[in-house]
Amino acid sequence: MENYPSRLRNAADRFLTLIKTKGPLSAAELASELGITSEGARLQLLKLAEEGLLQAESISKGVGRPVQKWSLTAAGNARFPDAHTELTLQFIQTIKNVLGKEALEHVVNAREKNQFEKYSKALDGVTGLENRLTSFAAIRSTEGYLAEWRKEGDTYYFIENHCPICCAATECDNICTSEMRTFVNILGEELNVSRMEHIINGARRCVYKIQAP
């Protein structure tokens, strides 16, 4: 199930967002998703590749011709929100150098408190795990995370296909720890929440596994 709000303003955005959220795709797969012809998809892909936003890789799957899959380049990823990366990094480095790591931890804790209060207010009155996941995904998507959730059997997966604060989280790993605590508090402390994939560790997305105890 996909629950992130649409940000698809034009053809380029539609292609880039699909590849961002679903991973490498072929022209045929993109054509099917968008309801256009394969030729139309190929022309748009070539245009985006010329602009340096996409790159192609031939993938062999047993017998038959290799399939060409398209993925985002660094420039393509840069088209998504980065939450003022340079300024954020400057603030983090300044706090570390001038006030020390303990002060930075206080800042992260204060951010966590503010985030929790914001999410709690937005989700007030929203009952049921699936309803809360849907609302939470919508909130996180407005913040640039391209969030969605899926259910497989009795297990839920909360997926964030983009991290607009990735550079800040790389510079200050306490941010990701803080995010995890917020997730647990928002979704319910009685649930088991674990991070299965992590963008700052090289994964394409962040994935949280949610299970009842």
Q: What is the pLDDT of residue 84?
A: 60
Q: Is the dihedral of CA 120, 123, 127, 130 positive or negative?
A: negative
Regions in the chain scoring below 50 on pLDDT: 1-8
Q: What is the pLDDT of residue 81?
A: 67
Q: Is the dihedral of CA 129, 130, 133, 134 positive or negative?
A: negative
Q: The whole model's pTM is what?
A: 0.68
Q: What are the backbone angles phi and psi of residue 80, rounded to the nearest 5°?
A: -95, 160
Structure tokens at 21: 């959220």
Q: CA-CA-CA-CA torsion for 107, 110, 111, 114, nearest 10 degrees?
A: -160
CA nearest neighbour of 168 among 95, 107, 91, 115: 91
Residue with tokens 């398209």: 70
**Structural domains of the chain sorted by starting position, each given as residue range(s) with its CATH number in brackets:** 11-77 (1.10.10.10), 85-211 (3.30.1380)
Structure tokens at 124: 């007030």
Q: What is the pLDDT of residue 2?
A: 47
